[in-house]
Amino acid sequence: MMEAFDRRIRLEEYMETGDLYFYHEDGFDFDPISAARWYFMAAVEGHSGAQVQLGHIYRHGTYGISKDPILAAFWLHNAAIQDHERAKKWLLEMYDNNEVTSR
């Protein structure tokens, strides 16, 4: 039980650190590359919010990170299957706009 709690806290810390870099908060320099690294650490462990952030970053190719619709769809899909509403909306938009196609 405590292990699951510790994991959840760790993932939230990864996400919050990513947000500090991405949104230039609390004296952190704006650094989307560092933000993406922190989001990735949370995303690979299943944090749906971090998966959505990576989906957004890869969908738009923002701030020096290359646009990659396949990676965007991958991360949004992983968040959507966890019932993340924004992920479902953005993934549907990607399909509707032919940014990706189903396989």
* Structure tokens that stand for 36 in this block: 């993406």
How far apart CA 47 and CA 59 sit, in angstroms, is: 18
pLDDT at 103: 55
Tell me which residue of 45, 75, 46, 80 sits closest to 60, measured CA to CA. 75
pLDDT at 64: 86
- Which of 3.40.50, 1.25.40, 2.60.40, 1.10.287 would CATH assign to domain 2-96? 1.25.40
CB atoms within 10 A of CB 15: 20
pLDDT at 1: 65
What confidence tens digit (pLDDT) does each residue in 36-93 have? 999 999 999 999 999 999 999 999 997 889 999 999 999 999 999 999 999 999 999 9
What confidence tens digit (pLDDT) does each residue in 1-43 have? 667 778 788 899 999 999 999 998 888 899 999 999 999 999 9
Contact 73, 93 (CB under 8 A): no
Contact 44, 14 (CB under 8 A): no
